[in-house]
């Protein structure tokens, strides 16, 4: 049965993203995007993410539902404190999961995400089924911290992480000096997507960049001319294998 309120909410949210991100990139865009070549493929990937990837990943996560053994006393903490702890634990684990899928055979799980040769807010929507399954795990692991939460938390977290994904892939020329000491910024994340082998193994943060700084994987955007960055995986792979993550 269709939940029309949920459908209306996500439809409005999608429209807001198009308007806000689209206006920001139109106003402060760093690179020229050949829309006729990329837009249809990115819209299809968004539809695939919502209609297939997320649903199949949720089904697979039933068998990979590993929740942290958190002390029962956490349930007595104020909700704001529990939410902050959830965010820090999940983001820390997501950093390590991101590093993991860049190693050996697990790279196949993640390479569709790196396949675009362009970079703007919608390009980050390419997520394989197996990648989504793995990337859900840090949040499942941390979920007991939230315990009994207000009704809006699930939708709120979905909105937050969707916006964060669009933010880090945005095509903007903002330098935001100092912000990347704490947060992942578009310029720092674009280095992560660079096809240059010298940039591989850097900037794995999902929301916070502090993990990259703590574990020696941070590459400062101030050290790299953004005009020199090129994106993509440098190989042709059948789209079905990319979408599944094989």
At 190 the pLDDT is 93
Please count the residues of the chain.
Answer: 246
Distance CA 96, CA 117 (A): 25
Return all residues near 229 (Cβ < 8 A) that are at least 6 apart. Answer: 119, 190, 191, 193, 194, 196
> Which DSSP helix (H) or strand (E) runs through 205?
none
pTM for this entry: 0.91
Q: Hunting for tokens 């574990």 — which residue is that? A: 215
What residue spans define the domains of the chain? 21-244
At 210 the pLDDT is 95
Q: Hunting for tokens 């997520």 — which residue is that? A: 127
Encode the chain (246 residues) as per-residue pLDDT tens digits. 556 677 777 778 888 888 899 899 989 988 888 888 888 888 888 888 988 999 999 999 988 777 878 888 888 899 999 999 999 999 999 999 999 999 989 999 999 999 998 999 999 999 999 999 999 999 999 999 988 777 788 888 989 999 999 999 999 988 887 888 899 999 999 999 998 888 888 999 999 999 999 999 999 888 887 778 889 888 888 889 999 988
Q: Hunting for tokens 């049965």 — which residue is that? A: 1
> Which DSSP helix (H) or strand (E) runs through 14?
helix 4-28
């Amino acid at each position: 049965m269709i939940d029309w309120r949920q459908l209306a909410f996500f439809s409005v949210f999608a429209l807001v993203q198009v308007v806000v991100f689209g206006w920001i990139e139109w106003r402060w865009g760093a690179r020229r995007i050949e829309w006729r070549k990329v837009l249809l493929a990115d819209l299809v990937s968004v539809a695939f993410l919502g209609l297939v990837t997320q649903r199949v990943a949720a089904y697979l996560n039933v068998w990979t539902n590993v929740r942290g053994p958190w002390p029962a006393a956490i349930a007595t903490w104020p909700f704001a404190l529990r939410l902050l702890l959830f965010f820090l634990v999940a983001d820390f684990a997501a950093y390590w999961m991101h590093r993991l899928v860049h190693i050996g055979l697990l790279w196949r799980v993640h390479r569709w995400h790196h396949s675009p040769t362009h970079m703007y807010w919608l390009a980050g929507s390419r997520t394989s089924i197996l990648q989504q399954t793995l990337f859900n795990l840090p949040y499942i692991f941390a979920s007991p911290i939230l315990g009994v939460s207000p009704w809006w938390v699930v939708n709120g977290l979905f909105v937050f992480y969707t916006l964060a994904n669009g933010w880090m892939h945005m095509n903007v020329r903002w330098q935001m000096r100092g912000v990347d000491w704490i947060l992942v910024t578009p310029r720092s994340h674009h280095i992560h997507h660079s096809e240059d082998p010298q940039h591989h193994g850097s900037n794995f943060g999902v929301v916070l960049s502090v993990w990259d700084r703590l574990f020696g994987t941070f590459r400062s955007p101030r050290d790299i001319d953004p005009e020199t960055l090129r994106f993509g995986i440098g190989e042709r792979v059948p789209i079905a294998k990319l979408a599944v993550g094989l």
